[in-house]
Amino acid sequence: MENRSISSIARDIKRVWIKPYFGAKPYLDAMEYLDNINDNYIYDDAKSVIMYFLANASTFRGNDAKVLKLELKNLLKGN
């Protein structure tokens, strides 16, 4: 299975997580500008942006959250 773009995942997260935690929001917004794990957003690489998002997304819960977070984690692992 081919990986989806980071921006696609971010759009899905925004669709499900209506009021994201303020600490996660800047990273979620940045992910909308990333295509793959090798991209950069200003001075941060995609890997850092995703890790910071996940570190601040503990209040993003439920089945959709679990699936979307796993998709991001798999991108970090290179799966």
Per residue, the 3-state secondary structure of 1-68, as one string, reads: CCCCCHHHHHHHHHHHCCCCCCCCHHHHHHHCCCCCCCCEECCEEHHHHHHHHHHCCCCCCCHHHHHH
> Please, which pLDDT band fits residue 79 given cuts at 50, 70 and 90?
low
pLDDT over 90 (residue 3): no
Q: What is the pLDDT of residues 43-74, one digit of tens each?
A: 999 999 999 999 999 999 999 999 999 999 99
Q: What is the pLDDT of residues 12-36, one digit of tens each?
A: 999 999 999 999 999 999 999 999 9
At residue 78 the predicted structure's pLDDT band, cuts being 50, 70 and 90, is confident
pLDDT at 12: 98
